[in-house]
Amino acid sequence: MGREIGVGGMVLATFVIGLREGLEASLIVGIIAAFLTRNGDRKSIRSMWIGVGAAIIVCIGVGAGLELAGRRLPFKQREILEGVLTVIAVAGVTYMIVWMRRHSRTLRSDLEAKAWVALGSRSGTALVVMAFLAVVREGLETVIFLTASLKQATSAAAGAVGAVAGVVVAIGIGYAMYRGGVKVNLRKFFGVTGLLLVLVAAGLVSTALHEFTEAGLIGFGTTPAVDLAWLVRPGTIRAALVTGFLGIQPVPTVLESLAWLAFLIPMGWYVATSMRTRPLAS
């Protein structure tokens, strides 16, 4: 074996997959961590890390359990589960966007605003749950992919090295988001993360529809709508970044594309207007 693909090719291929799977969760956790840190909510930050740790353990446990039992989750149930988790993620991210939009209005000083309305304990808990779910959703697939590549007799090392490196780079990007999110002024933080979260949530909306379509629950709008293969060429690092961050498929269907726009346009407008109507700093 080893055949047409060399060790380098295999490392790159699994790296791209690890990166793609890890990105979205890292991004969401990074933003939530920055959000809670800026809010001074230490208790929730600790809970968040416990939640993230628990999510990783759940993923490894379920992944290893399925592997040992030689089982896979049935396809339809798997897609429905992922679809439902994705819908919850959309709700969570939308909630964050609305919260930030509302509270950005109450900021008096634009550039140096430090004090902001503390999150209620229930909102803090919601964010902790969101971080947990973000990691569970992407982590399970990652663990299953990792165990599958580790099983390859001839290429386990190359495959695993690539995949782990991809996940590590994804976590690094999430950490950079967190650092940046903690450093910039609050107005910029609200604006940039707001727009970023709108893009992420729009991607989640089309991902959820994608899962439900595959589960056979949706039978319309399944015709391919637009060819983005030039942008999202499978197997490339750029594709990993675009699909990982933004949830954009190489060839989205009519329904996925329309839903993406239907979320992105009003929500993008909603966030952008809050940035524009803010009083100018003197």
Partner 1 sequence: MMKKLIVTAAVMVVAACSSAPAGEPVAVEITDGAFNLDATSVDPGLITFEIDNAGSQVHEFEVFAGASAGQVLPLVDGIADTTGLTVIDEVEDIVGGTSTELTLDLAPGTYLLICNLPAHYAAGNWSEFTVTG
**Least separation, in Å, of the C-beta of 259 and partner 1?**
17
* Minimum CB–partner distance for residue 228 and partner 1 (Å): 8
Q: Which of residues 203-262 bind partner 1 (CB under 8 A)?
A: 214, 216, 222-227, 229, 233-235, 250-251
- What does the alpha-carbon distance between residue 255 and residue 160 come to, in Å, rounded to a whole number? 36
What number of chain residues touch partner 1 (CB under 8 A)? 33
Output the CA torsion sign for 232, 233, 234, 238: negative
Q: Which of residues 65-84 bind partner 1 (CB under 8 A)?
A: 75
Nearer to partner 1, 234 or 268 (CB): 234
Cα pseudo-dihedral 261, 84, 209, 89, rounded to 10: 20
- Indicate the residue among 4 and 277 with the shorter CB distance to partner 1: 4
Task: Name the phi and psi angles at 166, rounded to 5.
Answer: -60, -45
Q: Which of 109, 122, 99 is nearest to 190 (CA)?
A: 99
**Is the separation of the CB atoms in 256 and 212 below 8 Å?**
no
Interface mask toward partner 1 for 17-56; x: CB under 8 A: x---------------------------------------
Sole residue written with tokens 């933003």: 31
Other CB atoms within 10 Å distance of the CB of residue 30 = 23
Interacting residues with partner 1 between 140 and 159 (CB under 8 A): 145, 148-149, 152, 154-155, 159
Find the shortest distance in angstroms from Cβ 227 to partner 1: 4
